[in-house]
Amino acid sequence: MPAYHVVWQGPVKRTSGLGIACKEYVKALRRQGVNTSVIEIQGRAGGLSNNRKVLIYHYPPNTINLRKERKQYDTIIINTVWETTRIPKRWINPINQSDAVFVPSRQNRQAMRDSGIRTPIFIVPHGVDAKMFVPMNKQLPSKKANRPFTFISVFGFQHRKNPEGLLKAYWEEFSSSDNVRLIIKTNGYAAYENDRWIRSRIQFYKAKLGIRKSTAPIQIIARHINTKSLRSIYAQGHAFVLPTRGEGIGLPFLESMASGVPVITTGWGGHMDFLSSHNSFLVQYKLRPPVIGMNRRTSISRQFRHLFSEKGQLWAEPDIGSLKRQMRKAYENPRLCITKGRQARLDALKLSWNRSGSLLKQAIEKTIAAVPTRK
């Protein structure tokens, strides 16, 4: 294998899941001994060696300037993630004109194939820092000792994450007489989507549902927080719940598993590469066009219609009854949550970023071997 130099072009400074994955992939590659540089925006990378130059583009595929990048790089790889059964049509040509595409899950690989992607597809999974996210000694819930069963949920406030389903299930299944609480860590995507706006949207939705009974408490944290604060949220949880409509991978699921907290979620998506009935509570679903849910008057969060409204795209609509049953099962069986949480931790230990780095290096070198050097 000839020597090569990787240039990773992606949002390394973002605090989102995309930014976290970007940083971790780069660090994992460097630990594998791969010479890796980082640039955040399109432009000429400086300080490159005379070795074979490999670009890994970690932005939406339709934004790459392939003609320009071909003048500088010998190999071009697109690294991306997706959440429905088909990728956006505007992604297809750029991906097919690249030398390979890296995705984090089997669901993503299938979506690429079903969308007409002909370029080689490699699964390069995300990992989790199991030294940062660790199980804490957690006491069993006790109404007498004022220790409620705690559901936690971590997500961006968007339609794909299905905050409506989570709230509806929780409000309808539990009341103030239950020894339970829900902690939601969320955030918006624009300056106006702040704590006040998110709380107002949630109150609007509750009124729209006509829920007037005394409901179980919800604590809302609607802002960006640091990793240490996030870890403390996982430490409080007896179960993590997120009835997502679609995930390319689901970093919060991995963080919850590493924290020894079992997951309650939809049984479809990229997260099914590592979630099972042994470490999770899986919710039944049906595949539906995203626009069906978006067109409901009770939709309360950002929809990203420009991504998820194309003909042929499907994602999961979780069954609310199944979600309520799984939440009730977790609530009534805290020892089962502990058992599933222990298995989740054991499974998470196998999903390190070092593993990701090793698979990433292998995929890069297979791509290089299949692509002739351009003069």
pLDDT digits (tens, 9 = 90+) for 167-213: 999 999 999 999 999 999 999 999 999 999 999 999 999 999 998 77
**pLDDT exceeds 80 at position 49:** no
Query: How many of the other CB atoms lie within 10 Å of CB of 39?
Result: 15
Query: Cα–Cα distance between 109 and 123 in angstroms, integer?
Result: 7
pLDDT score of 347: 98
Per-residue confidence band for 44, with pLDDT thresholds at 50, 70 and 90: low
In whole angstroms, what separates CA 138 from the centre of its chain?
26
pLDDT score of 292: 95
Pairing of strands 121-123, 100-103: parallel
The fold of the 149-350 domain, in CATH, is Rossmann fold (3.40.50)
pLDDT score of 250: 95
Query: Cα–Cα distance between 228 and 346 in angstroms, integer?
Result: 22
Q: Where does the chain hold its CATH 3.40.50.2000 domain(s)?
A: 4-127+353-370, 149-350
Contacts of 179 (CB under 8 A, 6+ apart): 141, 142, 143, 147, 148, 149
**pLDDT exceeds 60 at position 19:** yes
The arithmetic mean of pLDDT across residues 291-298, rounded, is 93
The arithmetic mean of pLDDT across residues 355-359, rounded, is 97
Q: Which one, of 153, 323, 353, lies nearest residue 237 by Cα?
A: 153
Per-residue confidence band for 224, with pLDDT thresholds at 50, 70 and 90: confident
The arithmetic mean of pLDDT across residues 50-66, rounded, is 93
The arithmetic mean of pLDDT across residues 340-360, rounded, is 97
More confidently predicted of 20 and 275: 275
Phi, psi of 184 (to 5 degrees): -110, 120
In this structure, are residues 109 and 81 in contact, taking their beta carbons and an 8 Å threshold?
no
Token couple for 149? 């069963």
Phi, psi of 181 (to 5 degrees): -150, 160
Check if CATH label 3.40.50.2000 holds for domain 4-127+353-370: yes
**pLDDT exceeds 80 at position 372:** no
**pLDDT exceeds 70 at position 50:** no
More confidently predicted of 73 and 372: 73
The arithmetic mean of pLDDT across residues 59-83, rounded, is 96
The arithmetic mean of pLDDT across residues 230-246, rounded, is 97
Per-residue confidence band for 373, with pLDDT thresholds at 50, 70 and 90: low
User: What pTM did the predictor assign?
Assistant: 0.94
pLDDT score of 138: 83
- Percentage of residues in the chain with pLDDT exceeding 90? 86
Kindly report the average pLDDT of the chain as a whole number: 94
pLDDT score of 18: 85
pLDDT score of 15: 79
Task: Read off the amino acid at residue 183.
Answer: I
Pairing of strands 239-242, 263-266: parallel
Least confident of 28-42, 45-59, 147-161: 45-59
